[in-house]
């Protein structure tokens, strides 16, 4: 037993077995060491000049824009899908939930190939879009948004569905008994109830979209100023200028850490 600052006694837990402690420490080192290496190899002396390079700013601007548009697309489509999975019983719901999570385990390059087979000029829908509306999605900025939304939407759907399942349904029932329609109940009761989960899912979705590489380079290509996002710029710089690749990677690392810091109250500090 140990005494806390408040004077109360707290039971001391059993000691940590060395057989568990050692691999745990090694696992932590394995995860953190590459990040330390990245920070250690960063050319801090000329960092401002490298960050101000035109190619870097263009790739960063395109990444932020495409990730934000992809997140908005995921919110528009993913929130209703999450509500359907959480609130409605229908045949094949488990299959639909499994299909939603497929992009999580699908190799991103395969996702890009699949997008080409559907939205390419000779794809299932791409040929019709091109012939009817003159819309071409592959190798365009819109293609970048589409590829990022494809791989990022499962993060949003899973987070929102979990929040909906954990929300107290009595508020929705009370709103219905007071005469509120389903849409009014959804917008004025359900969405405020799941707002923290919705925000967390949107942030994770945005972060995943920001770091997307495989599907983007396969479906949208790597054209500076049009489809070259930060991950693609890192890949290109790694072949020509390692220091530039390190700087670009540091930018993405900083954004990731900022996202984790923003979510610390929800996940990191939870027991």
Distance of CA 134 to CAs 22, 52, 101, 125, Å?
A: 60, 37, 32, 12
- The pLDDT > 70 percentage for the chain reads 92
Q: For 54-80, what is each residue's pLDDT tens digit?
A: 778 888 889 989 999 999 999 999 999
What pLDDT, on a 0 to 100 scale, did the predictor assign at position 60?
A: 85
The owner of tokens 């700013």 is 57
What pLDDT, on a 0 to 100 scale, did the predictor assign at position 162?
A: 92
Q: Is the pTM of this model over 0.85?
A: no
Q: For 167-178, what is each residue's pLDDT tens digit?
A: 888 888 888 888
Distance of CA 35 to CAs 51, 62, 224, 256, Å?
A: 19, 25, 27, 12
Above 80 in pLDDT, residue 19?
Answer: yes
pLDDT band at residue 183, thresholds of 50, 70 and 90?
A: confident
Q: For 112-162, what is each residue's pLDDT tens digit?
A: 999 999 998 888 898 889 888 888 899 999 999 999 999 999 999 999 999
What pLDDT, on a 0 to 100 scale, did the predictor assign at position 270?
A: 46
What pLDDT, on a 0 to 100 scale, did the predictor assign at position 95?
A: 94
Decide which of 2 and 180 is more confident. 180
Cα torsion angle, 109, 114, 116, 119, sign: negative
What pLDDT, on a 0 to 100 scale, did the predictor assign at position 2?
A: 55
And the tokens for 130?
């091109």
């Amino acid at each position: 037993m140990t005494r806390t600052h408040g004077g109360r006694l707290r039971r001391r837990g059993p000691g940590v077995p060395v057989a568990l402690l050692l691999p745990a420490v090694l696992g932590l080192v394995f995860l953190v060491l590459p990040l330390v290496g990245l920070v250690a190899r960063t050319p801090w002396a000329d960092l401002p000049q490298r960050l101000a390079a035109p190619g870097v700013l263009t790739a960063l601007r395109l990444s932020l824009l495409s990730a934000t548009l992809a997140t908005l697309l995921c919110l528009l489509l993913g929130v209703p899908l999450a509500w359907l999975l959480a609130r409605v019983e229908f045949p094949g719901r488990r299959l639909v939930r499994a299909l939603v999570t497929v992009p999580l385990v699908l190799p991103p390059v395969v996702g890009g190939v699949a997008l080409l087979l559907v939205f390419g000029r000779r794809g299932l829908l791409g040929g019709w879009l091109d012939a009817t509306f003159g819309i071409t999605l592959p190798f365009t900025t819109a293609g970048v948004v589409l590829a990022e939304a494809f791989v990022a939407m499962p993060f949003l759907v899973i987070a929102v569905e979990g929040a909906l399942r954990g929300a107290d349904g009595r508020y929705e029932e009370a709103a219905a008994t007071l005469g509120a329609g389903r849409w009014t109940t959804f917008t004025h009761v359900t969405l405020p109830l799941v707002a923290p989960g919705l925000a967390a899912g949107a942030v994770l979705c945005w972060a995943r979209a920001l770091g997307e590489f495989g599907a983007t380079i396969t479906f949208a290509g790597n054209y500076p100023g049009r489809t070259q996002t930060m991950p693609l710029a890192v890949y290109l710089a790694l072949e020509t200028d390692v220091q530039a690749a390190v700087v670009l990677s540091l930018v993405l690392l900083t954004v990731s850490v900022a996202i984790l810091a923003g979510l610390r109250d929800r996940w990191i500090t939870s027991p």
